[in-house]
Amino acid sequence: MAFLNDYHVHTDNSMDCKFPMASMCEQALQSGVREIAFTDHLNHHLLDLDLGFYRADKYFADVEACRARYPDLKILAGIELGEPHRWWKRIAPIVDNYPYDLILGSVHWVGKESMFDANYYRGREPQQAYHEYFEEVVQMVNHGGFDILAHVDLPKRTAYGIYGAFDAAALEDDFRAVWQACIDNYITPEINTKSLRLSVAEAHPNMDALRWYVEMGGKRLTFGSDAHTPDSIGSGMGEARRIALGAGLHYICHFEGRRIIQWSPL
């Protein structure tokens, strides 16, 4: 696929990734990825392990070095914000003062509870656990300050060991609330392929959930592997394309300077 781009990739600017940006670039080129966005974590939750880890100066020095070293790879400067609606005062000075091409918004925490902590799911019925998560996502999307909604239904991956298979149909109202907020606020959903590599074996979102977005008038879309290791870069993009086309989306968006600059046919 000539357009092949991966808009959700981590480097050692994230605490949970050990690989320098250059090694991710080399693998991207080998995998046929032509456009990549490095979206390292910026988290402010007081219990988050990587609190205080991200340094924008160091990140942009890596981006500039890699742009010079790999001219055949289009490198976009990105960032993955954790709950921007809750930490905006601390985030704004960073996103306003550095030249990001795109910004991901993610919910990893609902209140004081981590979506990666099994106790969140053990203490709730599945419907309730997902509903509280989706309500947080809607708040975040309505707040804005970012461009792309990351892993829309993250808990289906992190709850898989407790709840088992995910039933999107049971959560249609919650998905539609998220999609409406995305459409109203010009926020682009991604198809995140990380979960295809894990037990849940289903992208964020699956085809049914994405179809509701299309029915409601949604058109914008990006793809992201959420790679934390070089071997995952670009993975699952064929499946992402199949999901997008099956749901009725025929274009992928390209970003630059926090704007959509081009739509490529899938």
Q: How far is the CB of 150 from Zn ion (least distance, A)?
A: 5
Q: How far is the CB of 102 from Zn ion (least distance, A)?
A: 13
If one asks whether residue 226 binds Zn ion (CB under 5 A), the answer comes out as yes
Closest to Zn ion by CB, 229 or 246: 229
Closest to Zn ion by CB, 35 or 226: 226
Q: Tell me the window of 80-88, 93-101, 135-143, 234-242 that interacts with Zn ion (CB under 5 A).
A: 80-88
The 10 Å Cβ neighbour count of residue 35 is 18
Q: Tell me the window of 116-124, 161-169, 224-232, 233-241 that interacts with Zn ion (CB under 5 A).
A: 224-232
Q: Judged by CB under 5 A, which of 13, 27, 106, 180 binds Zn ion?
A: 106
Query: Exposed, middle or buried by CB within 10 Å (0-12, 13-18, 19+), for 198?
Result: exposed
Radius of gyration of the chain (CA): 17
Per-residue burial over 46-77, b = 16 or more CB atoms within 10 Å of its CB, e = otherwise? eebebeeebebeebeebbeebeeebeebbbbb
The whole-angstrom separation of Cα 56 and Cα 10 is 14
Residue facing Zn ion at closest CB distance: 106
The whole-angstrom separation of Cα 90 and Cα 87 is 6
The whole-angstrom separation of Cα 131 and Cα 121 is 12
Q: How far is the CB of 227 from Zn ion (least distance, A)?
A: 9
Amino acid at 119: N
Closest to Zn ion by CB, 106 or 180: 106
Q: Tell me the window of 60-68, 103-111, 120-128, 131-139 that interacts with Zn ion (CB under 5 A).
A: 103-111
Closest to Zn ion by CB, 39 or 180: 39
Closest to Zn ion by CB, 106 or 232: 106
DSSP state of 187: P
Q: Tell me the window of 24-32, 99-107, 130-138, 173-181 that interacts with Zn ion (CB under 5 A).
A: 99-107
Binding footprint of Zn ion, residue count (CB under 5 A):
3
Nearest Cα to Cα of residue 109 among 90, 79, 88, 81: 81
Q: Which residues bind Zn ion (CB under 5 A)?
A: 80, 106, 226
